[in-house]
Chain A
Amino acid sequence: GAGVSQTPSNKVTEKGKYVELRCDPISGHTALYWYRQSLGQGPEFLIYFQGTGAADDSGLPNDRFFAVRPEGSVSTLKIQRTERGDSAVYLCASSLKGLNTGELFFGEGSRLTVL
């Protein structure tokens, strides 16, 4: 596609529910990143994929968060037993190159609200 696509754009759920957020990166981009942004803050790194593997998942806050990229393209961020503190905009980015280089291109984000 022309840009990074994220779905859904908005998700409202109840505390304790399971949520999946999808990211479709720019075609041919091997590197994919998930970030989380709370109101008035800069994006917070969650996880980085190079191809199908998670090269760095040090930003995932706890074991309720998990992400996959089974075919090296589309990625899904999965959140189990959602909590009100998980409410944020979840941003996905991709780049042509991975380690050390490469300009990141961001999607418009998925806004998650946990009631």
Chain B
Amino acid sequence: KQEVTQIPAALSVPEGENLVLNCSFTDSAIYNLQWFRQDPGKGLTSLLLIQSSQREQTSGRLNASLDKSSGRSTLYIAASQPGDSATYLCAARNQAGTALIFGKGTTLSVSS
């Protein structure tokens, strides 16, 4: 059974810092991995989707990498801003391909 773990659970940084959020998954036979952002009381907003054949995806200040063999993904945020404060969730598409299995998230706070 796929299990997804995110470290750290919470992170506080000053504005302008570059930072890395970590995600690990137990079953390397994933089809893709997706990173989401969730603001308090809101739904999830998709940030990046990495197919199993890809190594990384970039969108603006965000870069996500995928290493299937080691069961790891990272989300790199460059030049963090207070507006980046939110909970970041990673999710791996399960072996059957029918659902995403989520981690518990990393709650990021960026202070100005």
Q: Which residues of A contact B (CB under 8 A)?
A: 4, 33, 35, 40-45, 48, 55-56, 59, 91, 93, 98-101, 103-109
Complex: how many Å from CA A55 to CA B103? 23
Q: A91-B44, A106-B44, A108-B42 are in contact. Are A59 and B104 (CB under 8 A)?
A: no
By a CB distance below 8 angstroms, the chain B residues around A45 are: 99-102
Could you name 29 residue pairs across A and B whose Cβ atoms are closer than 8 Å? A4-B43, A33-B99, A41-B104, A42-B91, A42-B102, A42-B103, A42-B104, A43-B91, A45-B99, A45-B101, A48-B99, A55-B98, A56-B98, A56-B99, A59-B99, A93-B44, A98-B98, A100-B31, A100-B93, A103-B34, A103-B46, A104-B34, A104-B46, A106-B36, A106-B45, A107-B43, A108-B42, A108-B43, A109-B42
Complex: how many Å from CA A103 to CA B48? 9
A contact patch SS:
loop
B contact patch SS:
strand
Complex: how many Å from CA A108 to CA B38? 10
A43 and B44: CB pair below 8 A? yes
Complex: how many Å from CA A99 to CA B100? 11
Interface string of B56-93 (1 = CB under 8 A from A): 00000000000000000000000000000000010101
The minimal Cβ–Cβ distance linking A27 to chain B, given in whole angstroms, is 18
The minimal Cβ–Cβ distance linking B90 to chain A, given in whole angstroms, is 9
